[in-house]
């Protein structure tokens, strides 16, 4: 395979196709990132903050086009995709605002004859691997802190959402970010592992599945580099007897069904106090029946398209098994 093809879950057509990076392109990218790190980390934090702030300005300016692309690439209704752009701006600007405090040296208690402190220093080249389900939020969570801390960044985005890497690159490029400080690569799984094993890479930030996280750990084994792994895992919700039932139902249903459950923080189980059980079930059923499925352009549509047919088969199997067992009381 020498290219990636993004098949839109909306209509099944190939929405975007991109060539995979060649061996030479990968080497050049890593070399640029390694060369740029000395200049970038030597800049004062105030300058790095300015670059990041301007990049977010340019990113937000392209909100409508970005929202459209997200919807086609991974199927989320157009009514919600613009909200991710808003979330990126909110998170990025918050991280920029707290950078001085977060990156300041930690001064330890006094000891005669010593100046004692812990200083935060850049690691070098940071390799970020981002998923498709919240393609910008998950990426920006690692990109902005890495850049503010003085690291250079190489982003590998999901084959389902390759345009996200390109749009982020364009935003930083418009902000005037020096060459090599932020780059992206479209990679195969094998080449992703090779990049992790590159001696220039000093940290890996991965968001995705548990098997994907295991791959990162295996590829980085023996290199003694740090790796941040945000993997799949979902928690239950509990509705207490004294809860505002209407508000609670609206919250838990949204938490379970947003993005059609394709979320790393989705609610898969609901526990309810026995005294309000029947009321909760009734209100949940009524709200879910009111959810809309149709064209992704319908602003009232709540159901997102499932990314792949295999997910539909999985969900149908779970529903069948749960229906056979019935609710737990």
Residues 217 and 122 in one domain: yes
Question: Which residue did the predictor score with more confidence, 77 or 308?
Answer: 77
Residue 216 has pLDDT above 60, yes or no: yes
Here the contacts of 103-112 (C-beta below 8 Å, separation 24 or greater) are 103/45, 103/148, 103/149
Residue 306 has pLDDT above 70, yes or no: no
pLDDT at 173: 98
Residues 255 and 124 in one domain: no
Boundary (domain end) residue, out of 165, 199, 231? 231
Domain that holds residue 138: 3-231
Residues 12 and 159 in one domain: yes
Boundary (domain end) residue, out of 206, 231, 256? 231
DSSP 188-201: -HHHHHHHHT-TTE
First-to-final CA distance of the chain: 51
User: Which range has the worst mean pLDDT, 9-13, 70-74, 257-261?
Assistant: 257-261
Residues 86 and 189 in one domain: yes
> What digits encode the pLDDT tens for the residues 112-171?
999 999 999 999 999 999 999 899 999 999 999 999 999 999 999 999 999 999 999 999
Residues 78 and 154 in one domain: yes
Highest mean pLDDT among 41-55, 226-240, 314-328: 41-55
Residue 300 has pLDDT above 70, yes or no: no
Confidence class for position 328, pLDDT limits 50, 70, 90:
low
Residues 210 and 133 in one domain: yes
pLDDT at 302: 52
Cα–Cα distance measured from residue 304 to residue 295, given in angstroms and rounded to the nearest whole number? 10
**Mean pLDDT within 314-327:** 71
Burial 77-104 (b: 16+ CB within 10 A, else e): bbbbbbebbeebbebbbebbeebeeebe
pLDDT at 301: 45
Candidates 25, 217, 230, 279; catalytic one: 230
pLDDT at 291: 78
Confidence class for position 76, pLDDT limits 50, 70, 90:
confident
> What's the number of domains the chain is made of?
2
* 68 is an active site residue: no
Cα–Cα distance measured from residue 22 to residue 204, given in angstroms and rounded to the nearest whole number? 21
Candidates 25, 200, 264, 279; catalytic one: 264
8: domain CATH number is: 3.40.605.10
What three-state secondary structure class fits 232?
Answer: coil
Confidence class for position 232, pLDDT limits 50, 70, 90:
confident
Residues 221 and 302 in one domain: no
Residues 101 and 169 in one domain: yes
Cα–Cα distance measured from residue 231 to residue 134, given in angstroms and rounded to the nearest whole number? 13
Distances (CA, A) of 322 to 97, 100, 258, 277, 287: 46, 50, 20, 18, 20
User: Which range has the worst mean pLDDT, 56-70, 165-179, 284-298?
Assistant: 284-298
Confidence class for position 268, pLDDT limits 50, 70, 90:
confident
pLDDT at 79: 82
Mean pLDDT of the chain: 91
pLDDT at 258: 77
pLDDT at 315: 67
What three-state secondary structure class fits 233?
Answer: coil
- CA 208, 211, 216, 218: dihedral to nearest 10 degrees? 170
Confidence class for position 190, pLDDT limits 50, 70, 90:
very high
Entry field: residues in the chain: 329
Those residues with Cβ within 8 angstroms of residue 283's Cβ, 6 or more apart along the chain or in another chain: 245, 246, 249
Residues 14 and 139 in one domain: yes
Residues 222 and 295 in one domain: no
> What digits encode the pLDDT tens for the residues 273-292?
999 999 999 999 999 888 77
- Residue 155 tokens read as 């982003």
Boundary (domain end) residue, out of 231, 259, 283? 231
248: domain CATH number is: 3.40.309.10
Report DSSP state, residue 274. Answer: G
Residues 165 and 204 in one domain: yes
DSSP 32-93: HHHHHHHHHHHS-HHHHHHHHHHHHHHHHHTHHHHHHHHHHHH---HHHHHHHHHHHHHHHH
**Mean pLDDT within 301-311:** 61
Question: Which residue did the predictor score with more confidence, 237 or 316?
Answer: 237
Residue 241 has pLDDT above 70, yes or no: yes
* 89 is an active site residue: no
Residues 223 and 254 in one domain: no
What three-state secondary structure class fits 152?
Answer: strand
- Residues facing residue 17 across a β-bridge: 5
Q: What percent of the chain has pLDDT over 90?
A: 74
């Amino acid at each position: 395979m020498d290219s990636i093809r993004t098949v839109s879950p909306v209509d099944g057509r190939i929405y975007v196709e991109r060539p995979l990076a060649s061996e030479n392109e990968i080497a050049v990218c890593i070399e640029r990132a390694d060369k740029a790190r000395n200049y970038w980390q030597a800049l004062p934090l105030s300058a790095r903050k300015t670059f990041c702030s301007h990049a977010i300005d340019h990113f937000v300016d392209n909100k409508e086009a970005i929202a459209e692309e997200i919807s086609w690439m991974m199927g989320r209704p157009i009514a919600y995709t613009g909200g991710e752009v808003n979330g990126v701006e909110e998170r990025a600007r918050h991280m920029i605002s707290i950078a001085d405090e977060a990156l300041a040296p930690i001064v330890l208690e006094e000891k005669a004859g010593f100046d004692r402190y812990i200083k935060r220093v850049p690691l070098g080249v940071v390799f970020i691997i981002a998923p498709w389900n919240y393609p910008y939020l998950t990426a920006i969570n690692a990109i902005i802190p890495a850049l503010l801390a003085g690291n250079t960044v190489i982003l590998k985005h999901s084959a389902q959402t390759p345009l996200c890497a390109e749009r982020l690159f364009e935003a930083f490029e418009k902000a005037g970010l020096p060459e090599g400080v932020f780059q992206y690569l479209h990679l195969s799984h094998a080449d992703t592992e090779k990049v992790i094993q590159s001696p220039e890479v000093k940290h890996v930030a991965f968001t995705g599945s548990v098997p994907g996280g295991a791959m990162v750990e295996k590829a980085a084994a023996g290199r003694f580099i740090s790796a941040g792994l945000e993997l799949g895992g979902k928690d239950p919700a509990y509705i207490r007897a004294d809860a505002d039932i209407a508000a609670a139902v609206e919250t838990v249903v949204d938490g379970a069904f947003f993005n059609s459950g394709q979320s790393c923080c989705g609610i898969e189980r609901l526990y309810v106090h026995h005294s309000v059980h029947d009321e909760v079930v009734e209100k949940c059923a009524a709200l879910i029946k009111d959810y809309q499925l149709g064209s992704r352009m319908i602003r009232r549509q709540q159901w997102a398209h499932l990314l792949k047919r295999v997910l539909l088969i999985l969900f149908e199997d779970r529903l069948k098994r749960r229906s056979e067992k019935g609710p737990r009381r």
